[in-house]
Amino acid sequence: MKHMNADALRERALFYFDLAKEEQSRGKGGSSLLHCAQAVQAALELYISSQGREVPDTFAISSLFEAVKDRPELYSVFERQRRYFDIMDDAYYGCRQFPSVYAREDVEGALSAAAAVLEIALTAGGSPRQRAAR
């Protein structure tokens, strides 16, 4: 199993989510979506590893969600807001070679979807100390 540091993943998820909000406030939709994707990736990796599962060796958000398909509290967010996660993946993979222009509504929707994932994943993931105390 790939070793994942819970505290580092939590910090990374929150850091990238803050960057996403900052970039959105500056009108930089593509950068905001890139950082949304990074925040969601880190949050999902934290959630998956905290459940004692192997983290898929991928950055594709849809593949990371497949690893939690049996966790309705999290997977239902993906099902309801898949469009925004697909947009995040597009921004993540396209940012280096094929940057796109994204509608403000898409960026705002992605931020909302990312916030929902972080709320569930970071709460459920907990730090090793928090999980030991449960």
> What residue ranges do the domains of the chain occupy?
6-129
pTM over 0.85: yes
Give pLDDT tens digits along the chain (134 positions). 455 689 999 999 999 999 999 999 999 999 999 999 999 999 999 999 998 888 988 989 999 999 999 999 999 999 999 999 999 999 998 876 777 889 999 999 999 999 999 999 999 865 444 444 43
pLDDT in tens, 83-105: 999 999 999 988 767 778 899 99
The C-alpha atoms of residue 103 and residue 2 are separated, in whole angstroms, by 36
CATH T-level topology, domain 6-129: Four Helix Bundle (Hemerythrin (Met), subunit A) (1.20.120)
